[in-house]
Amino acid sequence: MKTSHRKKIKLALRYIAVVALTILFLFPIYWLFMISFKTANEIYAYPPVWWPETLQLSNYRVLFEDGDAATVGNSLIVAGVSTIFAMILGTICAYSLARFKTGGEHLANWIISQRMIPPIAIVFPVFLLYVWFGMVDTYFGLILLYTAFNLPYVIWMMRGYIMDIPISLEQAALVDGYTRWQVVWKVVFPMCRAGLFATAIFTFVFAWNDFIFALVLTRTDVATYTVQVTHYFGGQSNFWGKISAMSVLGTLPIFFIVAFMQKYLVRGISLGAVKG
Amino acid sequence: MKNKRPLSQLILGDRGFKYQLIAPSIFILLLIGIFPLIYTLLVSFQGITMMDNDTSFHGLQNYTALGTDTRLWEALMHTIIFTCIALPIELLLGLLMAQLFIDKLPGRQIFIALLVLPVVVAPVVSGATWSLLLDTRFGPINQILGWFTGEEVTLLWTINPDLVYPSILAAEIWQWTPFMFLLLLAALSAVDKSQLEAASIDGAGYWTTFFKIVLPAIWPVMAVAILIRGLDLFRLFDIVWALTRGGPGTMTETISIFTYVKGFQQFETSYTGAVALLIIILLSVLVIGALKKVEIAR
Amino acid sequence: MADLKINSLHKYYGSMHAVKGVDLEIPKGEFTVLVGQSGCGKSTLLRTIAGLEEIDEGSIEIDGEVVNDVAPKDRDIAMVFQNYALYPYMTVFDNIAFGLRARKTPKVEIEEKVAEASRMLSIDHLLERYPRQLSGGQLQRVAIGRAIVRQARIYLFDEPLSNLDAQLRDEMRGEIKRLHRELGKTMIYVTHDQIEAMTMADRIVLLRDGKIEQQGSPLDLYERPATKYVAGFLGSPSMNFIDGMVTENKVTINNSNHSLDIPEQIKNKLTSHANKAIIVGIRPEHFSRADIANHQQYSKLSVNIELVQPTGSRSYVTFRLGQNPAVAELRPQDLLGHNTTIELSVDMSRVIYIDPITEMTI
């Protein structure tokens, strides 16, 4: 009786802590979203308004009227296409590393270490090269860089997933009369569907959320939404409505994606170190 | 599930096949990784600046200049300060939060799902968000502080030299503590319950159990988390860029921001080439050392 | 004509020498069992036949054609894997049809063949299901169906029954044997289970340490093992090995006053071993109660029973002969208790004699 009473109090305290933490961590996101719905008067009101009068969408309308919202489309194109490339090329490379230990541990380690070099040190040489080839501010240039930057991640993650597939499934297909390439398409890819899906999502999010590559390699034609957000910061007058609305446009899709990804989140963000 | 046979076993006709598989990836990695690097190495021995497209051979001039560039070393120092403060706090907070969630709790999954949202927000967006939160007049943080002090608070969070570090750190810690939380929660959940029960039967206290059983068990995951976050912090750019652009002055300039300013605002191309190579060499040594220590995905 | 011929085959894994020179001929239509303990190279041998592993030395011929460099898909073999190797994302039908599709078989023909194979294995009602909806025994049948649906030259089985429980294993043994009779194809079956080997094989190839220890019909190996290893490997409970000395007409058992009479017809075989150490191998079933078997080819022993393990039809009795523990298989009606002394007879015509140095039978 006594212990169950104490247990209840403990649970209640934990609950209060959990709710408080959740509010604390969600508050900045709440604030961002709310500003995007506020009128200019509400944004620049003192003291700050916590709940806008009406959830009006004029900040979003402006983005679409100015054509700024197209930067979200640019993000979609470069993140989407580079994800597809990185997934296909990375997965077959991962298959080779996982099954045949191609290049041994050294190649695998070199590949993952490519991921860990600071983007600024990658993008500067690439920028020089792109200037040379006239590839600055092109979809192709950005897609190529995102593909290259995400490849190590894809290879590393898919290597882990492929190592989980029983090898006899592939051997059975070989004996049954399939070629090695057919085995990759008909057995390996379907067998790691879940891993492919999860890895693709993360690859997409990395490219989607990237700022520094896009900042350096885009001007106007293919600027992504992250670059566009920072364009509204300027001197004394920050366009808060635009900043928040553009941020929400870029963030909302990611939230939806992540909601379906809970199962793979831990493995994805820990570079496969935690199977979760 | 482990495969019983050695994975390296060769099947007939594999010799060419395994290289066909890796060829496209390796080609792209070399194209983007190595080729520009060689070009940069070349450039770094020249004297190209915004004013002067001087491609003559300048020898190690840019590299010797690195040594005396106090702004560079300060930027490195700032980066290290950010890392050394943010990382332990994120780790500790993440661990505490994970402890809070380890036992059953109604709605546990929903809370976890909500708590990890900051992790997937674009860092530049979280920087922007925090600059809105921290605004002197229209931001809610000064407002909330005002409730406690009873008078109007007008702290200049992103301008006042005493407050810029706490501001940036707040945004950084807000965004990445959930990352630590998620990983450590997974690690804690994987701790063998029977070991904990055995320890409690043996009469071990909370702290003994934590240091002797829990900590060693979660250490591999913790090491990976520290490695990933440590490297992320070393490249810190987006959040700082959105909040202070390295200012006031160069007070919060990180190594990434310094490189960006040198290369893309002051157009000291050859010198930036030398900086980029320095960073790559520094990081490669660090990463290779760390990878050997940490069992990342075994 | 030999369907499969293996000539001095070697296989290395790094520094590990997994197969050390195997020569083997398997005639068409025969059911051959490769048996041995884990790590003896039997699975490796099977996989080299399938082409799943490259060989380092020697050659493999199928139908007179050297297939060393032929890819698995062109060897015209079918294989059943230990863990079934079924594709979880395909229905049973698609799993069985998988191999036929690789060979661009017309759709109508695929349907006919799958229907026929699934009928033979009584899984025709499961075709629309997915592997996760099936029991272990059903999975096993699907895996076999996948192999037999193809008209392959050789069928390979890699420990297919080891994941099943004992009862299902008995059932599937019969099933596979029946399939072999109906199809009349060459089948090579790998197992570590000597009972599977004994019950299923036309011919057993017993491997040890990467080499063939002995091959022949099951009864051949059982009755006339070439080495102590073979003698001990086959049979359950396994053969009793008793250390002794050859003296004139007898083998005296070390550290005891027991002795066994050597029958006339064997005496001259043992003359070269006179006054030397020898190991006598006696199968448990070759003991019997003294009063029952009373004939000149029987040797009498008086032993003290340490343990009785009744199984219903037979009772296993443990006792000591010298320092060696021994097991006798007796009828349960021979009413036995612990710590009683009984008289046993040994059928000396069935006993084998082993040279303790070479471990070869004499």
Q: For position C321, which CATH number holds? A: 2.40.50.140
CB A178 to CB C146 under 8 A? no
Q: Is the dihedral of CA C166, C171, C173, C176 positive or negative?
A: negative
Shortest distance, CA B17 to any CA of chain C (angstroms): 13
pLDDT at A107: 86
> Which of A255-264, C117-126, C221-230 bottoms out in mean pLDDT, i.e. has the lowest?
A255-264
CATH assignment at residue B237: 1.10.3720.10
Shortest distance, CA A34 to any CA of chain B (angstroms): 11
pLDDT at B5: 39
Percent of chain C with pLDDT over 70: 97
User: Looking at the structure, do residues C250 and C225 belong to the same domain, yes or no?
Assistant: no
A110 residue type, one letter? W
User: Looking at the structure, do residues C249 and C229 belong to the same domain, yes or no?
Assistant: no
CATH assignment at residue C21: 3.40.50.300
Residues A23-74 have pLDDT tens digits of 999 999 999 999 999 888 888 887 888 888 888 888 899 889 888 889 999 9
Residue C128 falls inside a structural domain: yes
Percent of chain A with pLDDT over 90: 48
| Cβ pair B275, B65 in contact under 8 A | no
pLDDT at B67: 86
Residue B212 falls inside a structural domain: yes
Single out the residue in C163, C198, C233 at which a domain terminates.
C233
Confidence of residue C248 (pLDDT cuts 50, 70, 90): confident
CA distance C302 to C289: 10
User: Looking at the structure, do residues C174 and C320 belong to the same domain, yes or no?
Assistant: no
Q: Minimal Cα distance from B189: which residue of A? A: A276
User: Looking at the structure, do residues C270 and C331 belong to the same domain, yes or no?
Assistant: yes
Measured between CB atoms, which of B128, B131, B221 is closest to A274? Answer: B221
Report, as an integer, the average pLDDT of B208-231.
88
Residue B48 falls inside a structural domain: no
User: Looking at the structure, do residues C113 and C133 belong to the same domain, yes or no?
Assistant: yes
Residue B14 falls inside a structural domain: no
Print the domain residue range for B184: 60-293
| DSSP-derived pairing of the beta strands C203-208 and C31-35 | parallel
Give the residue among C176, C178, C118 at the shortest CA–CA distance from C146: C118
For chain B, the chains sharing at least 3 beta-carbon pairs closer than 8 angstroms are A, C
CB A25 to CB B273 under 8 A? no
Q: Minimal Cα distance from A187: which residue of C? A: C87
User: Looking at the structure, do residues C259 and C147 belong to the same domain, yes or no?
Assistant: no
pLDDT at residue C203 above 60?
yes
pLDDT at residue A145 above 50?
yes
Residues B41-53 have pLDDT tens digits of 888 888 887 777 7
User: Looking at the structure, do residues C21 and C90 belong to the same domain, yes or no?
Assistant: yes
Residue A41 burial (CB < 10 Å; 0-12/13-18/19+)?
A: exposed
Percent of chain C with pLDDT over 90: 48
For chain C, the chains sharing at least 3 beta-carbon pairs closer than 8 angstroms are A, B
pLDDT at B72: 92
Spell out which residues of chain B touch residue C51, defining contact as CB-CB under 8 Å.
11-12
Confidence of residue A106 (pLDDT cuts 50, 70, 90): confident
pLDDT at B296: 54
Confidence of residue C294 (pLDDT cuts 50, 70, 90): low
Shortest distance, CA A161 to any CA of chain C (angstroms): 16
Residue C93 falls inside a structural domain: yes
> Which residue of A10, A13, A22, A25 to mutate against B (max B Cβ within 10 Å)?
A25
Shortest distance, CA A220 to any CA of chain B (angstroms): 16
DSSP reduced 3-state for A57: coil
Residue C362 falls inside a structural domain: no
Q: Minimal Cα distance from B24: which residue of A? A: A89
Is the pTM of the predicted complex or chain greater than 0.95? no
Shortest distance, CA B245 to any CA of chain A (angstroms): 11
Shortest distance, CA A168 to any CA of chain C (angstroms): 6
pLDDT at C295: 66
Percent of chain B with pLDDT over 70: 93
Report, as an integer, the average pLDDT of C13-42.
90
The overall average pLDDT reported for chain C is 88
pLDDT at residue B251 above 70?
yes
Q: Give the count of domains, chain B.
A: 1
User: Looking at the structure, do residues C212 and C329 belong to the same domain, yes or no?
Assistant: no
Residue B276 falls inside a structural domain: yes
What six digits make up the tokens of B45?
């021995």
Residue B93 falls inside a structural domain: yes
pLDDT at C270: 81
pLDDT at residue A135 above 60?
yes
Confidence of residue B298 (pLDDT cuts 50, 70, 90): very low
Confidence of residue B192 (pLDDT cuts 50, 70, 90): confident
Residue C360 falls inside a structural domain: no
CB C72 to CB B12 under 8 A? yes
pLDDT at C13: 86
- Strands (DSSP E) found in B132-267: none
Q: Give the count of domains, chain C.
A: 2
Spell out which residues of chain C touch residue B9, defining contact as CB-CB under 8 Å.
13, 52-53
pLDDT at residue C181 above 70?
yes
User: Looking at the structure, do residues C78 and C176 belong to the same domain, yes or no?
Assistant: yes
pLDDT at B14: 66
pLDDT at A276: 59
pLDDT at C281: 92
CB < 8 Å from B in window 310-349 of C: none
Spell out which residues of chain C touch residue A182, defining contact as CB-CB under 8 Å.
102
Residues B131-144 have pLDDT tens digits of 999 988 888 998 89
Residue B215 falls inside a structural domain: yes
User: Looking at the structure, do residues C92 and C220 belong to the same domain, yes or no?
Assistant: yes
> Which of A95-104, A209-218, A260-269 bottoms out in mean pLDDT, i.e. has the lowest?
A260-269
Cα distances (angstroms) measured from residue A71 to each of A76, A143, A221, A254, B2: 8, 15, 9, 16, 46
Instruction: Collect all residues with Cβ–Cβ distance below 8 Å to B198 and sequence separation of at least 6.
Output: none
pLDDT at C1: 52
Print the domain residue range for C286: 240-354
Report, as an integer, the average pLDDT of C6-30.
90
User: Looking at the structure, do residues C94 and C41 belong to the same domain, yes or no?
Assistant: yes
> Which residue of C67, C90, C98 to mutate against A (max A Cβ within 10 Å)?
C98
User: Looking at the structure, do residues C259 and C223 belong to the same domain, yes or no?
Assistant: no
